[in-house]
Chains A and B, each alone.
Chain A
């Protein structure tokens, strides 16, 4: 994988109804690495991810640039962006029970975009779907293709959603709170999967989460956002162990393990 497959976001701004929501976001997400976007609700981390995919809210006014393979994604037409999205740029959402279609079989959801983007036939697409389910470690792939989302647990569904995202062999994977809706034990498995996929496929992973513990386990570099700006950007260890910005320090200190047990119990 060459560096050209990474993302370079420079001075990204987004204005919606006169309000500036992204206020000059700069970050580099190299290929084969997990770049973490941290921050609380409303800090603009999800909007940054959606803008990378070419899905900013309707009526947004964008500025700056998002460089991917030598082109600025912001200059693409809707048609050009549609061609990239799903094939080169993929996304995993927080809640797999909401992001998967409840009435279409797993097989249908795993092959539809593959056939569209890669121009594969039915049988080829099915073969690819089986391969992908194998890759995301869903047990009994052939059986799974015939099932519907409600027949799976949340963890399995998230694996399937990740499978759908990587089915067209994308270069960039935007994962928006991919483990937040999962139990800790399941979360550990999904984190391991994302790490392995990133390493094996050389994916550029943009991991969006407010959970610094997940960030610390998975991300190589961490970008901390607040009020639509990047306040800190650095290697995982430095950002968590030696935060420079007071806001990052607050976030780290808000972690349960970093706080002393409250006193004032009863006798």
Chain B
């Protein structure tokens, strides 16, 4: 089984003209094993999205090594991407921006199917797998709601038959009542086709729902990682404890989480 993503002491820096460079990711190491669902959590600016971008070659690493099934991940250039790296697909945060507004859904899924190394599932099957009616294939993205678009984005990523699926805050722009649903769908779809999943979110309560293992990042570093239930019920690091304590509980008691300012 393939789909192993390894970050080994990876550092990413962003240069800003006229100002000091920012170290977004600071010697972060962790791996997503084949067939595993890993949740990557942390607050805004902790570097979790930068890691996702690094994994698909959208930003270069300033140090360390990132490999996918043994192939070093290189930044995008003018050449065609190595076929091996196409086995890694991404679902972005904003479903309104990640689909092409001028093309029908079926056409966009067809493009993705062309990358599949074997026989890709049909467009109808793809739509069905994410809980959409195949009859909707001729529609344009604007004719769908946010949740439906995110389902299409998932279907498109899955059409390529990926070994690893990365979701970068894929549920953040959805209604609360849809978040758990779409997250669970991503897990189910990935599991059904033996794809590993790296699920990035700031929402620990949703990550807990779907991840086998959780990696917690703070200020560019990995501060804690472990099996989901262990991190959830017995967090070791003060930072993780603080993150968990800040989650409001829907217990109807009117308790506002008490978190000391950082």
Does B191 contact A240, Cβ atoms closer than 8 Å?
A: no
A154 within 8 A of B: yes
B205 within 8 A of A: yes
Among B44, B248, B259, point to the contact of A214 (Cβ < 8 A).
Answer: B248
Does A213 contact B249, Cβ atoms closer than 8 Å?
A: yes
Does A188 contact B258, Cβ atoms closer than 8 Å?
A: yes
- Chain A residues near B251 (CB, 8 Å)? 216, 240-241
Q: Give the most central of A41, A214, A241: most B CB within 10 Å.
A: A41
- Chain A residues near B97 (CB, 8 Å)? none
Number of interface residues of B (CB under 8 A): 43
Does B180 contact A259, Cβ atoms closer than 8 Å?
A: yes
A255–B178 Cα distance when bound, in Å, is 9
Q: Give the most central of B176, B202, B210: most A CB within 10 Å.
A: B176
B136 within 8 A of A: no
- Chain B residues near A258 (CB, 8 Å)? 250
A197–B134 Cα distance when bound, in Å, is 51
Does A257 contact B188, Cβ atoms closer than 8 Å?
A: no
A147 to chain B minimum Cβ distance, whole angstroms, is 16
Q: Mark A204-216, 1 if CB is under 8 A from B, else 0.
A: 0000001111111
Number of interface residues of A (CB under 8 A): 44
Number of A-B residue pairs at CB separation under 8 A? 126
- Chain B residues near A251 (CB, 8 Å)? 176-177
Does A257 contact B175, Cβ atoms closer than 8 Å?
A: no
- Chain A residues near B261 (CB, 8 Å)? 189
Interface of A is mostly: helix
A180 to chain B minimum Cβ distance, whole angstroms, is 9
B254 within 8 A of A: yes
- Chain B residues near A195 (CB, 8 Å)? 256
B152 to chain A minimum Cβ distance, whole angstroms, is 17
Does B204 contact A184, Cβ atoms closer than 8 Å?
A: yes
A259–B178 Cα distance when bound, in Å, is 13
A236–B255 Cα distance when bound, in Å, is 11
- Nearest CB in chain A to that of B208: its residue: A256
Does A216 contact B249, Cβ atoms closer than 8 Å?
A: yes
A127 within 8 A of B: no
Q: Mark B168-206, 1 if CB is under 8 A from A, else 0.
A: 000000011111110010011001000000000011111
Does A185 contact B259, Cβ atoms closer than 8 Å?
A: yes
Q: Given A192-B256, A216-B249, A261-B209, check contact A185 B176 (CB 8 Å).
A: no
Top 7 A-B residue pairs of the complex, sorted by shortest distance between their CB atoms: A240-B252, A254-B177, A237-B252, A217-B248, A256-B205, A184-B246, A183-B43
Given contacts A216-B251, A217-B256, 5 further A-B contacts (CB under 8 A): A195-B256, A213-B205, A216-B254, A251-B176, A259-B209
